[in-house]
Amino acid sequence: MSYHFNEIEAKWQKYWAENQTFKAANPGEEGAEKPKYYVLDMFPYPSGAGLHVGHPLGYIASDIYARYKRHKGFNVMHPQGYDSFGLPAEQYAIQTGQHPAVTTAENIKTYRRQLDKIGFSFDWSREVRTSDPSYYKWTQWIFIQLFNSWYNKDTDKAEDISSLIAIFEKEGNINVNAEADDDVEQFSAEQWNAFSDEKQQKILLQYRLTFLSETEVNWCPALGTVLANDEIVNGVSERGGHPVERKKMKQWSMRISAYAQRLLDGLDKLDWPQPLKDSQTNWIGRSEGAMVSFAVIDGGNLPKINVFTTRPDTIFGVSFMTLAPEHELVSKITTEAQKEEVEAYVKATAKRSELDRMADVKTISGAFTGAYAEHPFTKEPIPIWIGDYVLAGYGTGAVMSVPCGDQRDYNFAKHFNIPIPNIFEGVDISKEAFTDKENTVITNSDFLNGLSYKKAMKTVIYEMEKRGFGYKKVNYRMRDAVFSRQRYWGEPFPVYYVDGLPQMIDEKYLPIKLPEVEKYLPTEDGKPPLGNAEVWAWCTETNQVVSNDKINNTTVFPLELNTMPGWAGSSQYFNRYMDPNNANEIFSQEAINYWQDVDLYIGGSEHATGHLLYSRFWQKFMFDKGLVPQDEFAKKLINQGMILGTSAFVYRVEWFYTRSVWGENNPEKVKKLPRKSELPDIYVSKSIFENIGRFYANYQNSDNSFLRQIDKKISELEKEYKIFESEGIGTISRSNNLAISPIHVDVSLVNSSDELDVKAFKKARIEYKNSKLLLEDGKYIVGREVEKMSKSKYNVVNPDAICEQYGADSLRLYEMFLGPLEQSKPWNTAGITGVHGFLKKLWKLYHTGKDGAFLVSENEPAAESFKTLHKTIKKVEEDIENFSFNTSVSTFMIAVNELTSQKCTSRAVLEPLIILISPYAPHIAEELWSKLGYNESISSAPFPKFEEKYLVESTKTYPISFNGKMRFTMELSLDLSKDEIEAAVMAHEKTKAQLAGRTPKKVIIVPGKIVNIVG
């Protein structure tokens, strides 16, 4: 009986689904007494294109691990669901008018069908979809929790807003140490109590962990929405590559900056890839320094200019100050004389997009405001400039410029002829700034003279704090995260507005469901798409969403028109999986205390600064609120590499026609210039292309035989299609220049030897139908190149087709066999025959009976078979623990090759062997397991135990090296002492031949390893 993988795989997939084989037990259910293990894949967005073979790589790895852990006796949770809100569905809706919910549901169906075919051990009873109201109810709920919280720096955690109000009522905000907006005014208890309700609400907004504020945002006009920093790559939108500009808008933000230090510290205890941790560290961007205030001379009651600097030790080197053009003081301090210049400059920089600004970092620009600040120590006047090299978004948007110690300040000073005082001893600053901190001795700096960087830092901060114009400060690059999107297909906010102030809808009325709209575009007056909704107002009497025409601003109020960003739904989904159908709570405490956190998280590295940072932030918030027991949600994380496509190219010959007539005033009679599309194309095989190159001039006179052939083919076509026989004036001739263009061709038309299936090729597209092919050795050889897998490159390989042709087990094995999980690697379908052949051999190993009948014997296996089995157990177990799945596939191959040649049929070997293989190739394993006489699924069979005794050897084949080079091997007993080994080796005739009479200087013997003879 041969290996019918299609039947076997369908049978077991059905069995698993019907028996809920992979349903994880929650507390109180049977199975929950086992230790828990939580394996999670990163939330997929169900795109319309479906899966290609690159997508399941991580899922296969996590599935192997999950199945392995079940064999090891764990209660394994391996859930899957969909991050189903998102831009592509909405863009598609805008184009076609189809409701995103409809297309999303279709896409999910496709995804599910594809995933099912690969035989994953997902617990589908836990599936969640972020766009499902029963799910986003809890996303809205978390938003409300954040709104009702503030960050207390004294306790270093988030607390309920009521505790803040209590402090305000008792002592105002003088002693409050909170993470809040920079511009909070100070007030006493009396003042607070006297404030209007509106004023109190506005003040509280400055403290809440999610808050509404006028902020500078990244506005993407093409997408009609704002974007978070992590959604912008190289100055353009991550999705679609559209330009982004800066704009001030009233937006919801998340006070993630409150957690900056904890997000940084938490990285230490995470078993995550170092590059990922590095990029989070980078993103958070902690720097230590000082905050220093500079008073504006004759500024009246203008606020002081605060600057953040990491080099307060260089304060005596300040020769000017620079403000970002957007800085709020710019308009207030600019003198009448400088007004025109400054305004022009501010206008010009506002127009420049992020991309422009980044593209020319070299151009130095700025303007003098005419105002001066007072140096806090020397009391000297310092000119205040503005310049776009100072970013509004970092620090305070202003810098004290020390041209001798900072290259940017130096360049600016040089450009505008500002003096560059030198405060470094014995350093030449005529060419560039001196930025070295370690070898610095300060001079020309009053009380800092003669001090090193470290000492000067301490001294100057002490002095500044004493005199009251500066203090030590830690600054973070990370900004608060913008949380509003001007999109339709996202979570609606549970928010309505009373007199322009946001009000939360009570939890018990959630979810606030996404309203229907006629158009998914922004409204004509520029409101977000929800502005098109007709039923989108909140009635505080009935607590329902009601028609907009009922808005009276006394009982019925307008609802928020923005929606939440993509990361909202994915920032707590891992916890929701623990209790996904709970309608009363986001999850029960019982469930979260059992499951705790994710033990293994697998996904792509592209989420480093988005999803993974936001999720950690929400987790810490949930931890502060006592809702989760762990303040990090995933102990171990692995980034799987990308699978690249191996594109195939055919080489199309391009030729051209010219016409001899010019200046003709009767265009109708002019002969029509033939177009190449009138003729079939000519394609040349790879080596012909390599011989000729991309361009060839004067080819008709060349004696290159390939060019002669091409010339002949073209002539034949011209005759056949009567190219020169059309009527008209003038002569048409063929140009003597030739070009050859590599064109992507579908990889499915190419075999493992890079030969094009010519018949299939001609059928594949109409334009190929009559094409002429110039072959080499009777074959058409295509070119190959490794590129990203994408539809436009015709190199996409669909897993369905692979499952159809080779089976899911082959696909799973092959994806693992390609190479280390973390590495990027090219896909080449040809290689799959190797693992497919292995599965056939494996099947055969259990079917050695008459006519291929199933056969296992109860005989005691040979010692060497036990040895094969146990070294396989050892290696595979180590490999899985180290996530080295590629090497275990090789190990299986070696084991099956050995057992086959040993003619092993013993149950005592074949039974444990199939358990070892089952995490990798579960379908064939289940089938063989049932043939071995079991009625239960193999999935919970205990993993075989490794026993050292089967591997004990009595001899070792020693490599005998001379001066480190292996010359021959010798089998020696492992019982021998060093001296005995040396005697045996020296007595060997080959040793004598190698030495040729010389006496060795030294003989190195490492028993059980190697012998090296030096001399």
Bridge pairing between strands 366-374 and 398-401: unpaired
* Positions 299 through 338 that interact with RNA (CB under 7 A): 308-311, 324
388 belongs to the binding site for RNA (CB under 7 A): yes
- Nearest approach, Cβ of residue 691 and RNA (Å): 19
| Position 828 contacts RNA (CB under 7 A) | yes
Minimum CB–partner distance for residue 308 and RNA (Å):
5
Q: Report in angstroms how near the CB of residue 922 gets to RNA at its nearest.
A: 20
Least spacing, CB of residue 348 vs RNA, in Å: 12
Q: Judged by CB under 7 A, does residue 999 bind RNA?
A: no
User: Residue 442 class from Cβ within 10 Å (0-12 exposed, 13-18 middle, 19+ buried)?
Assistant: buried
Dihedrals φ, ψ of 360, to 5°?
-120, 90
Using rule CB under 7 A, residue 282 touches RNA: yes
List binders of RNA among 460-479 (CB under 7 A): 475, 477
CB of 933 to RNA, least distance (A): 27
Q: Starting from the edge strand earliest in sequence, which strands make up the sheet with 178-179, in order?
A: 157-160, 149-152, 178-179
- 831 binding RNA? (CB under 7 A): yes
Report the site for RNA in 880-899 (rule: CB under 7 A): 884, 886-887, 889-890, 893-894, 897
Parallel/antiparallel/unpaired status of strands 772-774 and 682-684:
parallel
**Stretches 59-67, 509-517, 701-709, 960-968: which one binds RNA (CB under 7 A)?**
960-968
Within 8 A by CB and 6+ apart from 508, the residues are: none
Contact with RNA (CB under 7 A): which of 963, 973, 978, 988? 963
Please select the residue that binds RNA; options are 201, 961, 976, 1007, rule is CB under 7 A: 961
> How many residues form the binding site for RNA (CB under 7 A)?
88
CB 238 within 8 A of CB 231: yes
Report the C-alpha gap between 143 and 504 in whole angstroms.
Answer: 9
Minimum CB distance to RNA smaller for 323 or for 628: 323
**Which H or E run includes 495?**
strand 495-498
Task: Pick between residue 144 and residue 321 the one whose CB is nearest to RNA.
Answer: 321
For RNA, which stretch binds (CB under 7 A), given 12-20, 386-394, 712-720, 856-864? 386-394
Joined together, the tokens standing for residue 807 give 């089976």
Q: How far is the CB of 686 from RNA (least distance, A)?
A: 13
Written as six digits, the tokens of 618 are 């929400």
- DSSP class per residue in 454-480: HHHHHHHHHHHHHHTSEEEEEEESPPP
**Which 863-882 positions form the footprint of RNA (CB under 7 A)?**
875, 878
What is the C-alpha separation between 156 and 266, in angstroms, rounded?
Answer: 14
Parallel, antiparallel, or unpaired: how do β-strands 470-476 and 210-220 relate? unpaired
Closest separation between CB of residue 426 and RNA, Å?
23
- Specify the residue for token string 């920089």: 349
Q: Which is nearer to RNA, 234 or 735 (CB)?
A: 234
Among 957, 987, 998, 999, binds RNA (CB under 7 A): 957
Quote the strand ranges of 945-986, DSSP E.
Answer: 955-962, 965-973
Smallest distance, Å, CB 400 to RNA? 7
* Cα torsion 54, 55, 58, 60: sign: negative
Q: Which residue stretch of 294-302, 452-460, 836-844, 905-913 sits at the interface with RNA (rule: CB under 7 A)?
A: 836-844
- Indicate the annotated binding residues: 791
Instruction: Choose between 433 and 856: whose C-beta lies nearer to RNA.
Output: 433
Q: Is 261 in the site for RNA (CB under 7 A)?
A: no
Stretch that binds RNA, among 188-196, 376-384, 387-395, 977-985 (CB under 7 A): 387-395
Question: How many helices and strands, by DSSP H and E, does the chain display?
Answer: 30, 38
Q: State the CB neighbour count (10 A cutoff) for residue 115.
A: 19
Structure tokens, 781 = 């050889």
CA distance 885 to 63: 12
Residue 319: DSSP 8-state: -
Does 964 bind RNA (CB under 7 A)? Our answer is yes
Q: Does 820 sit near RNA (CB under 7 A)?
A: yes
Instruction: Tell me the per-residue interface mask from 589 to 628 with RNA, x by CB under 7 A, - otherwise.
Output: ----------------xx-xx-------------------
> Which residue among 23, 840, 907, 931 contacts RNA (CB under 7 A)?
840
Query: Does residue number 229 form part of the binding site for RNA (CB under 7 A)?
Result: yes
Q: Does 285 bind RNA (CB under 7 A)?
A: yes
Binding status of residue 289 toward RNA by CB under 7 A:
yes
Helix, strand or coil for residue 558? strand
For residue 65, give Cα distances in angstroms to 15, 459, 836, 879, 944: 21, 56, 22, 11, 16
- Please check whether residue 471 is in contact with residue 465, taking contact to mean a CB–CB distance below 8 angstroms: yes
Region of 217-225, 272-280, 438-446, 686-694 interacting with RNA (CB under 7 A): 272-280
Residue 910's SS3 state is helix
Q: What is the 3-state secondary structure (H, E, C) of 627-682?
A: CCCCCCCEEEEEECCCEEEEEEEEEEEECCEEECCCCCCCHHHECCCCCHHHCCCE
Beta strand pairing call for 75-77 and 36-41: parallel
Regarding 399 and contact with RNA (CB under 7 A), the answer is: yes
683 contacts RNA (rule: CB under 7 A): no
Q: Assess 390 for contact with RNA (CB under 7 A).
A: yes
Candidate residues 261, 279, 459, 805; the one interacting with RNA per rule CB under 7 A? 279
**Binding positions for ATP:** 791
Please report how close the Cβ of residue 314 comes to RNA at its closest, in angstroms.
Answer: 9
- Is residue 424 at the binding interface for RNA, with CB under 7 A as the rule? no
| Interacting residue with RNA among 303, 450, 693, 837 (CB under 7 A) | 837
By the rule CB under 7 A, 1004 interacts with RNA? yes
Structure tokens belonging to residue 853: 């009948």
1007 is an interface residue for RNA by CB under 7 A: no
For RNA, give the closer residue by CB, 106 or 754: 754
- Decide whether 326 or 711 has the Cβ nearer to RNA: 326
Q: Which CB sits closer to RNA, 311 or 620?
A: 311
Q: Applying CB under 7 A, which of residues 194, 697, 951, 1006 lies at the interface with RNA?
A: 1006
Nearest to 84 by CA among 120, 116, 117, 112: 112
CB 183 to RNA: min, Å: 17
Indicate which single residue of 55, 255, 825, 847 sits in contact with RNA (rule: CB under 7 A): 825
Count of other CB atoms within 10 angstroms of residue 764: 16
- 985 in Cβ contact with 959 (< 8 Å): no
Q: Which stretch binds RNA (CB under 7 A): 40-48, 186-194, 567-575, 957-965?
A: 957-965
Candidates 753, 792, 935, 999; binder of RNA (CB under 7 A) is 753
Exactly one of 11, 332, 408, 635 binds RNA (CB under 7 A); which one?
A: 408
Residue 968 contacts RNA per CB under 7 A: yes
Q: Is residue 6 a contact residue for RNA (CB under 7 A)?
A: no
Instruction: Pick between residue 20 and residue 281 the one whose CB is nearest to RNA.
Output: 281
Among 332, 959, 976, 1007, which residue sits at the site for RNA (rule: CB under 7 A)? 959
Mention every residue, 6+ apart, whose C-beta is less than 8 A from residue 258. Answer: 151, 158, 179, 209
Say if residues 723 and 675 touch (Cβ distance below 8 Å). no
Tell me 921's DSSP state: S
* Residue number with CB closer to RNA (608 or 688): 608
Q: Which residues pair with 160 in a beta bridge?
A: 149
Q: Is the dihedral of CA 247, 251, 256, 260 positive or negative?
A: positive
End-to-end distance of the chain based on CA atoms, in angstroms? Answer: 61
838 binds RNA (CB under 7 A): yes
Q: Which is nearer to RNA, 161 or 642 (CB)?
A: 642
Q: Should residue 275 be labelled a site residue for RNA when binding is judged by CB under 7 A?
A: yes
Phi, psi of 281, deg, nearest 5: -60, -45
Looking at this protein, which amino acid is placed at residue 942? P
Measured between alpha carbons, how far is 147 from 208 in angstroms, rounded to an integer? 5
